[in-house]
Amino acid sequence: MRGIVSTGTVVLVILGFGNHTWWLAAGALLYLYAKYGRGSPATPPAGGAGPVPDSYRAYRERRDRQAKWERRYRRERPFESRRQARGKSR
């Protein structure tokens, strides 16, 4: 993502020598990347784990909900869950 933003900024600056509006677009791109891009507090962490729980209670609720879904999946798809269990043991 950083490479795309930096390349886009360089292109907009080069275009800005003919029309200064492109420099404003480059500045806006850098501002938006700094505000909403990688490393900003608004973006969720990588890995798809979701936000960090605020408390142990939130963690337990999320863990219990995940366990409930896993039990439901095993109950509704017994052959698939056995196949997956065999794959994990190998």
For the stretch 3-46, pLDDT in tens is 777 787 778 888 888 888 888 888 888 888 888 876 655 545 55
**For residues 52 and 18, which has the higher predicted lDDT (pLDDT)?**
18
CB atoms within 10 A of CB 30: 16
pTM over 0.85: no
Could you give the number of structural domains in the chain?
2
- Both 22 and 60 in a single domain? no
Inside any domain, residue 88: yes
The Cα–Cα gap between 55 and 62 comes to: 11
Stretch 63-90: mean pLDDT: 86
Identify the domain containing residue 66 by its residue range: 53-90
- Both 59 and 25 in a single domain? no
pLDDT at res. 52: 63
pLDDT at res. 60: 93
Inside any domain, residue 76: yes
Angle at Cα 73 formed by Cα 68 and Cα 76, nearest 5°?
A: 125
